Amino acid sequence: MSGFLRAVGVRPDGLETVLSPELIGGTVEVIHAAQTLSNALRAGRAEEMCDEIAGRVVGAGLDVVEVLVVTDSFDIVEGLRADHPAQVDREEHVACAVPP
């Protein structure tokens, strides 16, 4: 099992969408965005980072009402065999509202 730190947006209907590197870290680089999120979490700035992401979500015009910073875990072996690997576990680090 492997865990992935990421930010997800929650839509008004409760469905989730994984947010892009541009929304997470202001970059197109996936690794850089993930490291930015990880650094903020380790430095105790997860809430601040969540608010920054929420601000970028507003600017992008997405239909998202909440941002979650989570570690989602997946069974990697099973995931390699599946088109859409199922999440096995989730640790929620912080949640913040997206301003209207």
pLDDT digits (tens, 9 = 90+) for 28-60: 999 999 999 999 999 999 999 999 999 999 989
Q: What is the pLDDT, as a whole number, of residue 4?
A: 86
Q: What is the pLDDT, as a whole number, of residue 8?
A: 96
Q: Would you kindly state where each structural domain of the chain is located, as residue ranges?
A: 2-97
pLDDT digits (tens, 9 = 90+) for 57-86: 998 989 999 999 999 888 877 766 767 777
Q: How many whole angstroms separate alpha carbon 70 and alpha carbon 72?
A: 6
State the SS3 of the chain. CEEEEEEEEECCCCCEEECCHHHHHCCCCHHHHHHHHHHHHHCCCHHHHHHHHHHHHHHHCCCCCEEEEEEEEECHHHHHHCCCCCEEEEEEEEEEECCC
Q: At a CB cut-off of 8 Å and minimum separation 6, what does 24 contact?
A: 6, 7, 33, 34, 36, 37, 53
